[in-house]
Amino acid sequence: MVYVTGDMHGDAERLKSSEMRRLKKGDTLLVCGDFGFVWDGSKTEQATLKKLGKQKFNIAFVDGVHENFDLLEQYPVVNWNGGRARQISGNLYHLMRGELFTIEGSTYLTIGGGVCPDDDYRTQDDIRMARETPSYEEMENAAANLQTTNGHVDYVITHEPPIRIKAFLQLKKQQHESVESTGLHNFFDEMLAKCTFKRWFFGSMHVDKRISSSHMALFRKVVAVDQQE
């Protein structure tokens, strides 16, 4: 079984929830960005990553905007379920941007990264600089992989949502500031117009909410990808 959850921000307590205990040997947990366990490279962190990699189920995450990309890029790139991933430890993987994976017979397009909401507060030395937003080449990689499937995937796993979904959620949260459209948002809009999928999961909005039959925002909730509500 494949499950999805939202941003974890390095909170190991999340793995002790009753929802997490449903996962069995061979299952896969997908995390929609801001995984946060690869951050400072300390011995304590390395021990935690080793423990995560020894879980009975796979843990695979797309990156968000609060990640240490310098450390992430030090891990080896491997082929995992047909796509490129960085193996962090054992059964723990970072799913690279624009990659296509086949898990338990279903296809997954993954596009990590996004738009950081605290740009004005960062310095040139900030470890999250620049690489938090997908590059043109990474978006082209996603487009090329979509072409191999004639524009259809079963599931899309991202950190950032499409712009219209983001605007809708901000309105619901009574956040009336304008939502700036970026190159990533424009790419997502093209995806919505040109490709088909069963469901799109994302984590950056920090809410658990089904937006429509095909879009779901996740934070703390853990859901099966094919779960019907």
Percent of the chain with pLDDT over 70: 88
For 123, what's the count of Cα atoms within 13 Å in the CB-facing half-sphere? Answer: 1
E strand spans, the chain? 2-5, 28-32, 58-62, 77-80, 83-89, 92-95, 99-103, 106-111, 155-158, 199-202, 209-210, 215-217, 223-224
Number of domains observed in the structure of the chain: 1
Does this model's pTM top 0.85? My answer is yes
Q: Which of 141, 8, 124, 126 is nearest to 62 (CA)?
A: 8
What CATH number corresponds to the domain at position 122? Answer: 3.60.21.10
pLDDT (mean) for 131-158: 94
Over residues 178-200, the mean pLDDT reads: 83
Structure-block tokens of residue 149 = 């499937």
- The answer on pLDDT for 48 being more than 60 is yes
134: closest CA among 65, 60, 189, 194? 65
137-151: average pLDDT = 95
Per-residue confidence (pLDDT) for residue 229, from 0 to 100: 60
Average pLDDT of the chain is 89
Q: Report yes or no on 216 lying in a domain.
A: yes
Domain membership of residue 94 as a residue range: 2-224
**Whole-number Å distance between alpha carbons of 42 and 193:** 44
pLDDT at 169: 84
Task: Determine, yes or no, domain membership for 175.
Answer: yes
229 found inside a domain: no
